[in-house]
Chain A
Amino acid sequence: MTMELITGAEILIRCLKEEGVEYLFGYPGGAVLHIYDAIYVQNDVKHVLVRHEQGAAHAADGYARASGKPGVVLVTSGPGVTNAVTGIATAYMDSVPMVIISGQVPTALIGNDAFQEVDAVGITRPCVKHNFLVKDINKLAETIKQAFYIATTGRPGPVLIDVPKDVTIAKAEFHYPKKVKLRSYNPTVKGHAGQIRKAVDLILSAKRPIIYTGGGVILSDGSPELVELTQLLGYPITNTLMGLGAYPATDKQFVGMLGMHGTYESNLAMHHCDVLIAIGARFDDRVTGKLEKFCPEARIVHVDIDPSSISKNVRVDIPIVGSVPNVLRTMINVIRDEKLKPDAEALARWWRQIDEWRAVKSLSYRASDTVIKPQFVVQKLYEVTGGKAIITSDVGQHQMWAAQYYHFDQPRQWINSGGLGTMGFGLPAAMGAKLAFPDRDVACITGDGSIQMMLQELSTMKQYQTPVKIVNLNNGYLGMVRQWQEFFYQKRYCMTYFEALPDFVKLAEAYGHTGMQIEKPGDVEGALREAFAMKDRTVFLDFLTDQSENVFPMIPSGGSQNEMLLAERDEMISTHDEGMVLL
């Protein structure tokens, strides 16, 4: 018996079902009408109708980062796909698994400047892991299978599939391939045994070691292995902005985030270490500062699944290409089997040094009982949620305070745009995370600038009942930019002050949510408790915070890791290190 012929649109939806796709974040238009018609007649894949395609990509991204499953996006041709580009690029920079299906004009019209035609494959090429234009309906299912495979394996990333309208209308038999084989794509998961052995020897010979880990640990669900290895060694550990939560922030071996706004102890430990153990981190310029002065005395081990991340910015001594859980498991086995022990005496000395740096308390700030300090809001949020909420954030000062003062103990608890730094990411990402975990508290820490970039998604959140708490650290400024103008442009605050801001309380209400404005430090905790008690409501908490607060510590870009600006103190503190610049 021959198989039934079904349309390309039906095939597409069947493929998503085969992939176990729970949510499709999208927005309709002419080129995808057939696909929407196929969505109409089924209930397996739930569609979330966003209010802007960028929101669709960010929501899918938030869903993916929270759940570990790929986020799936559906947009129409032309403006549909161009609107999604910022969201795709955001996912690309942070290596988030995502599949984007974009409608395209009919095959026969491609290249004719047809209505709503853009070269989607061309426009997205620099910001996707891979993309496809499907011109033949008989290749549709296979291509979708490949797209999911590529997006979710190796170093994850977004994959776009451009589907001309005639392909969605044409009919074919449906076979979903069980397996994919791509001769040209075969990520290395298992680390090289010889390299791992060499790395273990170097790691155990260290006198002043530090473990520096990043987003790769979270992307690979390698947190259990990381925790085991770190505790087996007793070494200090620091995380990048993308790596927070992979190691419990409340554990004593954790020395805080590193980099531009990292802690004093983490950056100095990096600067003075003799062995650096880099795991799933990519030596970003916000982390390394001035390259010539980066970890001057260190020999470096680097574990990464992407060979191009290794020795890209910083030459490493022992590269290991492989996946974090696999490589770390092997390391742990070698250490245990051979009963290897670190140099306890040197390690004790190193910890005494680190504790001295810690005693500087670089994250302290001047408390106030008249004006709300943004750091205080994050601290209270941490307390009120018992440290267990999923926190998304936008981009700016509030993002750094979220990273510094909410102590993430679990992976996939902290969701932010690090690589691209996309303002507007936080709110749709929170919606995506809430859909992935309806029973968990989800909060979006945002700023008065960022929140206005994706506000329209408040309407989507109403429609799909995704109760999220929005913590707006409202300083009236594009604070992060204002901070740079204060430090490096002699306080010429050009275009960073909002002379008009909406009434966020009314705005929240207009969208059918609850709004609160909080002006006094004494009301912060109460407001948060009240908001989180409203389990089924999205609550917009507009905290009017200190307008002049700055993020510290800070390594000005181009500085090295031992050149940090510390917070204004009653007295300038002096430090032992010559290179230190204080403000």
Chain B
Amino acid sequence: MNNNNRHMISILLENEAGALSRVANLFSARGYNIESLSVAPTDDETLSRLTLVTYGSEQIIEQIVKQLNKLVDVVKLIDLTETEAIERELMLVKTKATGEQRAEMKRLADIFGGHVLDVTDATYTIELTGAGKKLDNFLRAIEKDAILEVVRSGATGIALGQKALHA
């Protein structure tokens, strides 16, 4: 059994001031890891949806889920790692794009299904979506020196099939 698995936990949270701090606070106070955290409103204005990616042993993940459920502002949550789910993350990368590099960068962006959103003489700004791993792979595929800036949204996800998380 892997002792340090990656888990993506998706949470429906009361859209109240301070609710996000309660989640963030829990992780820092109890020493749990957060790899990424993304949060935004939902179709229901009283709720926000928060996705967080964390690492830990089975026992720690179990505690994280229990502790999150204990927060009064947490309405529902699902550990997406436990079901079949799609993971998506948005990344914007500003790269150098001069000389030979210019064509190569475009080609790589195409291979990864990215779009070039902005072009200057010397740079491209590329948009990419996918699971975190794919985004990592893209960054590995292009020359390190070519990267000027990287912005990632953090992972979000949704379960496959008919299952839906709602209040």
Instruction: Mark A residues whose CB is within 8 Å of B.
Output: 121-122, 125-126, 129-130, 133, 150, 182-185, 306-308, 310-312, 315
Contact = CB atoms under 8 A, between A and B. Distances in A.
B74 interface: yes
A183 B75 contact: yes
A150 B73 CA distance: 12
Contacts of A130: 72
8 contacts: A121-B18, A122-B18, A125-B18, A184-B74, A184-B75, A184-B76, A306-B70, A307-B66
B62 to A, nearest CB: 7
B59 A185 contact: no
Given A121-B18, A183-B167, A126 B63 contact: no
A126 B25 contact: yes
B67 A308 contact: yes
Contacts of B17: 133
Interface in B1-50: 14, 17-18, 21-22, 25, 29
Nearest to A309: B66
Nearest to A130: B72
B47 to A, nearest CB: 10
Contacts of A126: 25, 29
A307 B72 contact: no
**Interface size bucket, B side?**
20 to 34
Contacts of B66: 307-308, 310
B63 A122 contact: no
Nearest to B29: A126
A184 B70 contact: no
Interface in B60-92: 62-63, 66-67, 69-70, 72-76
A311 B67 CA distance: 12
A150 B18 contact: no
A409 B17 CA distance: 46
A125 B23 CA distance: 11
A125 B14 CA distance: 16
B110 to A, nearest CB: 45
Contact of A308 (B18, B70, B167): B70
B69 A311 contact: no
B67 A184 contact: no
B44 to A, nearest CB: 11
Given A307-B69, A308-B67, A311-B62, 9 more contacts: A121-B18, A122-B21, A125-B21, A126-B29, A184-B14, A184-B75, A308-B63, A308-B66, A312-B63
Contacts of B59: 311, 315
Contacts of B63: 308, 312
Contacts of A312: 63
A312 B62 CA distance: 9
Given A308-B63, A311-B59, A312-B63, A184 B73 contact: yes
B18 to A, nearest CB: 6
A108 to B, nearest CB: 16
A125 B67 contact: no
Interface of B: 14, 17-18, 21-22, 25, 29, 59, 62-63, 66-67, 69-70, 72-76, 167
B25 A184 contact: no
A121 B16 CA distance: 13
Nearest to A315: B59
Contacts of B22: 125
B18 A184 contact: no
Contacts of A315: 59
A216 to B, nearest CB: 15
**Max count, chain A CB within 10 A of own CB: residue among B25, B66, B67, B69:** B66
A307 B65 CA distance: 10
Nearest to A310: B66
B87 to A, nearest CB: 25
A366 B69 CA distance: 51
A497 B69 CA distance: 46
Contacts of A121: 18
Nearest to A182: B72
Contacts of A307: 66, 69-70
Nearest to A122: B21
Given A307-B66, A308-B63, A133 B72 contact: no
**Max count, chain A CB within 10 A of own CB: residue among B17, B18, B70, B74:** B70
A357 to B, nearest CB: 32
A126 B71 CA distance: 11
A133 B18 contact: yes
A312 B63 CA distance: 7
Nearest to B19: A184
A240 B41 CA distance: 45
Contacts of A184: 14, 72-76
A482 to B, nearest CB: 32
A183 B69 CA distance: 12
Contacts of B72: 129-130, 150, 182, 184-185
Contacts of B76: 184
A184 B74 CA distance: 6
B43 to A, nearest CB: 16
Nearest to B16: A132
B107 to A, nearest CB: 49
A156 B143 CA distance: 56
A308 B14 CA distance: 21
A24 B23 CA distance: 32
Nearest to A121: B18
A307 B67 CA distance: 9
5 residue pairs, one from A and one from B, having the closest CB atoms: A308-B66, A184-B75, A130-B72, A307-B66, A185-B72
Contacts of A185: 72
A505 to B, nearest CB: 44
A310 B70 CA distance: 13
A466 to B, nearest CB: 35
Contact of B25 (A125, A133, A182): A125
Nearest to A126: B29
A126 B74 CA distance: 16
Nearest to B74: A184
A334 to B, nearest CB: 27
A89 B159 CA distance: 39
A224 B23 CA distance: 38
A474 to B, nearest CB: 38
A312 B69 CA distance: 14
Contacts of B167: 183
Contacts of A311: 59, 62
B126 to A, nearest CB: 39
A310 B66 CA distance: 9
A442 B59 CA distance: 43
Contacts of B21: 122, 125
A308 B72 CA distance: 14
Nearest to B17: A133
